[in-house]
Amino acid sequence: MFKNQPKGLFPLALANTGERFGYYTMLAVFALFLKANFGLTAGQAGLIYSVFLGLVYFLPIVGGALADRFGFGKMVTIGIVVMFAGYLLLAAPLGSDALALVVMIAALILISFGTGLFKGNLQVMVGDLYNDPQYAHKRDEGFSLFYMAINIGSLFAPLAAVGLKKWGESLGFANNDAYHFSFAAACLSLVVSILIYYSFRSTFRHVEGKRSKAADSGKTADAVPQLSKEETKSRIVALCLVFAVVIFFWMAFQQSGLTLTFFADEFTKMEAPGITGLPFNVLNLVFIILIVYAAFSLFQSESRKGKYISGGIIALCVGALIWQYTSLPEVTLLDAPIFQQFNPFFVVALTPVSMAIFSHLASKKKEPSAPRKIAYGMIVAAAAYALMIFASIGLATPDAQKAAKDAGDTLTLAGPYWLISTYLILTFGELLLSPIGISFVTKVAPPKYKGMMMGGWFAATAIGNLLVQVGGHLWGPLPLWVVWTVFVSLCLISAAFMFAMMKKLEAATK
C-alpha cells in the first residue's frame, strides 16, 4: 500500500494533515459557538456556517487560476500565511458585540482565501507527481493515501476542540470565551505544516512551478499527450457533469457539522454505559486503526520478522483495549462535537480495506470506473440519511424539543450509536467519491487547465457547502424525518443523473 509511491507524496500529505487538523478543530465547535456567543438561531448559524464553507471551497478556483500563472508552490506558501492571520484573529476573545462579529467575519474571509490558495494547489502538486510514467498506475492509490492522511488530522480535531474549550473554562474563562482556545489550535497546526513543507521540499520541488514549467519537467508531464480541441472540450464537459453531481453529495455530507451536530446536541443521549463508551476515547480508536493496519501487514509481509512485528502490534493493541475496558467508568459522559471524530476514524481505518477491494477487482479487470464509483457513493450517502429517518421515529420536532427542555419535561432521546452508524455509512460513500473524484480531476483535466479544473472541483464543493444551510433552515418546525428525506432524495436523484450520463463520462476518460 505504501510501497512504490513517489517520495513527495508523504510530506505533501503530512503538510495537509496539519492544516486540516486546525481547520476541523475550529469547525467542530464553530456552529455551537455561533449560537452560544452571538445568540443566533439555527438558521442564522447555518447561514454563516455554510457561506464560510462555500468560500473555503469556492476560492480554490481563484487559487488555481493564480497558480497556473505564478506557480503552485508560491500560492501554497502564501495561503498558509494568510490562513495563519485569519485564525489568529478568530482566536482573539473579543466578546459578542458588533466589533467581535466584524472581526470574526474578517477572520473567516482570510481563512477561506488562504485555504483557496493552499488546498487545491497542494492537491494538483500531488497529482503531478503521478505524471511520471513509473507512478501513473498508482494515482488512485496515492490519492486514497493522501485522503487518509487528511483524516488523521481530522480524527483528533473534535477531541482537541472539546479539550481546549474545557481547559479554557478551567482557567476561569467564560463559556463563550473558552471557544477561542479551540480556534487558537489552528495557528499552531499551520506552523507545523509549513515546517514539514519546507523541510522536505526537495522531494516535490519539480512540481511546484507554473503549469508550463511542470509540463516541461523531465520528471512529470512530458509524457502527457497534446489534446485536440474536441478532446479538450469532451473532458471539460465530463468534469462539469461530475461537478454538478458532487454538489449534492457535499450538501448532504457537510451536515455533519450542522444538523447532525444539532441532532447530537438536542436529540442524543449524552452518556454511554459500560463497553459502549469505549469508542468515545480517541486513543481506543487509534488502537483499532493500528490493529487494522497491522493485520494487513501481517498478511502482506514477505518476511517472518515483519509478520512477528505485525502480530506483536496486534497483541499489544488488543491488550491495551482490554485494559481500557477494565478502567471504563460505569457511564461515559459525552459532548456533541465528539461525534465528528467518527468520520475521520472510519476513513483512516477503512482506507486499506477499500484499496484492497479495488486492487482485487482491478486484478480481475472488474474495477468500476471513477464515474461509477462516484454514482455508487451517492447511493451510499442516501442510505446514511435513510438510517437517520429510522433514528428519528418517535422524536419531536426541534422546536417542540426545545420547548419541552425549557419547561423541564422529560425528553425522548436517541441512542448515540445511531449517529455513529450514520457516520460509518457516510464514510463508505465518501471513500467512493472524494479521493476518487480528486484523482479523476487530475487525470482527466486538460494539462493547461489543471489548476482551474481542480478549482472547479472545489467550486462545486463550495456550492454544495452553501446549500448546507438548507438543513439549518429546515431545522425547527418540521419533523426530523422530513429533514433527512430531503437529503435522501437529492442523493438518489444525483445518482440517477450520473448513471444516465455514464457513457459520456466514461468515454472522456479513455
pLDDT in tens, the chain (510 residues): 566 788 889 999 999 998 989 898 888 888 888 888 898 887 888 888 888 988 888 888 888 888 878 888 899 999 999 999 999 999 888 888 889 999 999 999 999 999 989 988 898 888 888 888 888 777 777 887 888 887 888 888 888 888 888 888 888 887 788 888 888 888 899 999 999 999 999 998 988 876 544 444 444 444 455 777 888 888 888 888 889 988 999 999 989 878 998 999 999 999 999 899 999 988 999 999 999 989 988 888 778 888 899 999 999 999 999 999 998 999 999 888 888 889 889 988 988 888 888 888 888 888 888 889 999 999 999 999 999 999 999 999 999 999 999 998 888 999 999 999 999 999 999 988 888 888 888 788 887 777 678 778 878 888 888 888 899 889 989 999 999 999 999 999 999 999 998 888 878 766
Q: What share of the chain is helix, strand, coil (3-state, %, to 5)?
A: 80, 0, 20
- Amino acid, res. 156: F
End-to-end CA distance of the chain: 25
- Decide: 451 and 460 in contact? Cβ < 8 Å: no
Contacts of 317 (CB under 8 A, 6+ apart): 287, 288, 290, 291, 294
CA distance 338 to 344: 12
Q: In the block, which residue shows the cell 457513493?
A: 377
C-alpha distances in angstroms, 451 versus 60, 64, 239, 254, 314?
9, 4, 13, 24, 42
What local confidence, expressed as pLDDT, does residue 381 receive?
95
C-alpha to C-alpha distance for 143 and 126, rounded to whole angstroms? 8
Please answer whether residues 190 and 80 qualify as being in contact, where contact means their C-beta atoms are separated by less than 8 angstroms: yes
Lookup: cell for 356: 484492497
Residues 6+ apart with CB under 8 A from 358: 140, 367
Q: Which three cell numbers stand for residue 252?
A: 448532504
| pTM, entire model | 0.78
> How many C-alpha atoms does 170 have within 13 Å on its Cβ side?
6
CA distance linking residue 265 with residue 288, whole number of Å: 26
Tell me, what amino acid is at 277?
G
Phi/psi for 360 (5° steps) reads -65, -45
Q: Residue 330, CB half-sphere, CA atoms under 13 Å: how many?
A: 0
Say if residues 468 and 46 touch (Cβ distance below 8 Å). Answer: yes
Bridge partners, 271 (sequence order): 333
Residue whose C-alpha is closest to residue 53's, from 461, 353, 437: 461
Give the residue among 129, 76, 457, 113 at the shortest CA–CA distance from 449: 457
What are the C-alpha distances in Å from 60 to residues 78, 88, 295, 444?
A: 13, 21, 38, 18
The single-letter DSSP state of residue 395 is: P
